[in-house]
Structure 1
Amino acid sequence: MKITSNFDSGNIKVLAASEPLDIQLEINKDNESDFFQWFHFRLESTPFLGHKLHINGLEKSAYPEGWDDYHAVASYDRQTWFRVPSHYEDGRLIIDFEPEFSHTYFAYFAPYSYERHLDLLYWAQSHDICAIETLGETLDGRDIGLLTVGEPEDGKKQIWITARQHPGETMAEWFVEGLLHKLLDDEDPHAAALLSKAVFHIVPNMNPDGSVRGHLRTNAAGVNLNREWQTPSLEKSPEVYHVLNKMHETGVDMYLDIHGDEALPYNFVAGGEGIPSYDARIKELEDTFKAALLTITPEFQDEFGYDKDAPGEANLTVASCAVGEAFKTLAYTVEMPFKDNANLPDPYYGWSDRRSYQFGQDTLAAIVSVVDKLR
């Protein structure tokens, strides 16, 4: 029997693995950080033999409440990820599993590899209306890639979308892949309507270093990028520094920052009601966008989510708040679950890469409802 995480986004520490029913594991912390929750590893063992995997020490993980009612995902071919029986007790996630094949991958959510990220960028570049630009480098020397979709013209709205500031939230890049496939479909009516009025600026992965390293929440230096938007620096957060500079160059008329939430089993948005410049115009844009998304897909809801900030008390180090305030614009954090959508449960797949992809397409369609009103 062998367990390894020596691959892109891999993360696990083996404590003991001599008996299939007593496999003891831990998750490594993000570099220079106490955050940990993301795991991704491969088990090599005997097919059709019962296995019990214990992931220990989770009472100290980033979001201990995220393990309640959570089921790990597994895959034999690294393409289809399905849920496996798991339960949380006494600070341990216990996975009961009988593999059908000799090699099985396990992960916190369906991984989105760095190679797939590069494939997405250069597939998008092959379309005439899409250009790729390298804004700068990460601390590990990887490119910070920006896709610009649409023909620049005076009067067009500037719509920005970023994803995976928190690298373990892989559903965010699956979301962007779906959105891009729809936006670059020259027969799609929503895309045509939007591109006649707007240019899209999309960063599919804000944190490629953390993604490759198998981090949950931080970059190579252990910095949470979604707390760097007030004073980003080349030394600690070049990813935010370069993206924010580009935003000031293009302007921003709408901004969506795509994330995943460990604890809440719903899709929801978090708005800018706490920023100093929040007013009736922004509220109307928020309400119009949410109403459209509620109409388009039953995957979205507006009953459960984060507590709303009191007026003037938004955290302006957070991307959506910082951008909403700087540009006086509609800015939302979009959240998807690691568990399942409790309103539409799927016991075999849970919330998944494929559902994230479709949610990205549905969210793009909802932008049609506000594009004319953005300024």
Structure 2
Amino acid sequence: MRISANFDSGNIQVISADSADNIRLAINKDNQSEFYQWFHFKLFGEAGTEHVMVIENASGSAYPDGWDGYEALASYDRETWFRVPTEYNGKELTIRHTPEQESVYYAYFVPYSYERHQDLIQSAQQSVDCYHELLGETIDGRELNLLVIGEPAEHKNTIWVTARQHPGESMAEWFMEGFLGRLLDDEDGVARKLLDNNVFYVVPNMNPDGSVRGHLRTNAVGTNLNREWAEPSLEKSPEVFYVLKRMEQTGVDMFLDVHGDEALPYNFVAGCEGIPSYDERHKDLENTFKAALLTATPEFQTKYGYDLDEPGQANMTVANSAVGEKFKCLSYTLEMPFKDNADLPDEDFGWSAPRSQRLGEDVLTAILAVSPKLR
């Protein structure tokens, strides 16, 4: 029996693996940070034998409430990921699985590899509607990629979409794959209509360093990028620094920042109602977007989400608040679950990569509905 995590986005510490029925593990912290929750590892063992894997430090993770009702994901081929029995006793997380094959991968959510990210960028730039721009380099020397979709013009709205500031929230890049796939489909009526009047600036992965390192929430030097939007720096948060600099050049009429939430088993949005300039126009734009997305897909809902900020009490270091205030624009954080969508449960797969992709496609319908009001 062997357990390894020496690969892209791998993260696990083996405490002991002497017997299949008592494998003891721990999740490593993000570099220079106290955050941890993302795991991704490979088990090589005996097919047909139940393996009991206990993550001993689960209760000390960033969001221990996220373990309640959670089931880990497993895959034999790294393409199809399914849920396996998992239980949390308030201290340890126990994964029980009887592999049908000799080797199997386990992960907190379906991984989105850096290799696939590179394929996504190169595939997108094949479209005549897409221009690939290099914003700068990360701390580990990786590219920070921007896709500009549509031909800029004075009459067009400027719509920014970013994902994966928190690298462990890999569903955000699966969302982006669906979003880009539809937007670049020249036979899709919604996409064609959108590009008549809008230009999209898309960053599919804001945090490639953290993604490859197997981090939950931070970049290479332990910085939570979604707390850097007030004063980003090249030393701590070049990813935000470069994106915000480019936003200042283009302007922003709408901003969507895509994430995943560990605890809530729903898809929802969080607005910027707490920013100083929030007004009835902001509220109307938010309501128009939400109403359209509710019509587009039953995967979205508005009953459950984060508590609303009191007027003037928004955290201005967070992306959607900082951008909403700076550009006086519609600005939303979109959250997806690590668990399942409780409104439409799927006991085999839970919330999944394909469902994330389809939500990305459906969001374009909501953007089409709100886009005439953005200016």
TM-score by length of 1: 1.00
Write the deviation string for residues 271-326 of structure 1: whole angstroms up to 9, x where unpaired.
Answer: 01000000000100000000000011000000000000000000010000000000
2:359 matched residue in structure 1? 359
2:99 matched residue in structure 1? 99
CA distance in 2, matches of 1:3, 1:179: 35
1:213 matched residue in structure 2? 213
CA distance in 2, matches of 1:187, 1:276: 42
Q: How does 1:1-375 map to 2 (within 5 A)?
A: 1-375=1-375
Shift of 1:56: 1.0
Structure 1: give runs of 5+ residues left out of the alignment: none
CA distance in 2, matches of 1:201, 1:56: 42
| Aligned AA (2:126) | S
CA distance in 2, matches of 1:39, 1:184: 33
CA distance in 1, matches of 2:219, 2:373: 36
Write the deviation string for residues 147-178 of structure 1: whole angstroms up to 9, x where unpaired.
Answer: 00001122100000000000000000000000
Percent identity for Structure 1 against Structure 2: 63
| Aligned AA (2:82) | F
Q: Secondary structure of the residue that 1:289 maps to in structure 2?
A: helix
Q: Secondary structure of the residue that 2:369 maps to in structure 1?
A: coil
CA distance in 2, matches of 1:48, 1:190: 48
CA distance in 1, matches of 2:131, 2:105: 35
Q: Which runs of 4+ in 1 moved over 3 A?
A: none
| Aligned AA (1:188) | D
Structure 2: give runs of 5+ residues left out of the alignment: none
Shift of 1:58: 1.2
CA distance in 2, matches of 1:15, 1:233: 38
Shift of 1:48: 0.7
CA distance in 1, matches of 2:244, 2:190: 28
| Aligned AA (1:354) | P
Shift of 1:90: 3.7
The number of residue pairs the alignment matches comes to 375
CA distance in 2, matches of 1:320, 1:181: 24
CA distance in 2, matches of 1:184, 1:56: 45
Shift of 1:203: 0.2
CA distance in 2, matches of 1:366, 1:54: 42
CA distance in 1, matches of 2:58, 2:98: 23
Q: Secondary structure of the residue that 1:120 maps to in structure 2?
A: helix
CA distance in 1, matches of 2:99, 2:69: 22
| Aligned AA (1:239) | E
CA distance in 2, matches of 1:80, 1:173: 17
| Aligned AA (1:252) | V
Shift of 1:18: 1.0
| Aligned AA (2:152) | P
CA distance in 2, matches of 1:90, 1:336: 24
CA distance in 1, matches of 2:292, 2:198: 18
CA distance in 1, matches of 2:154, 2:63: 45
Q: Secondary structure of the residue that 2:48 maps to in structure 1?
A: coil
TM-score by length of 2: 1.00
CA distance in 2, matches of 1:84, 1:149: 39
Shift of 1:91: 1.2
| Aligned AA (1:246) | R
CA distance in 1, matches of 2:45, 2:122: 37
| Aligned AA (1:232) | P
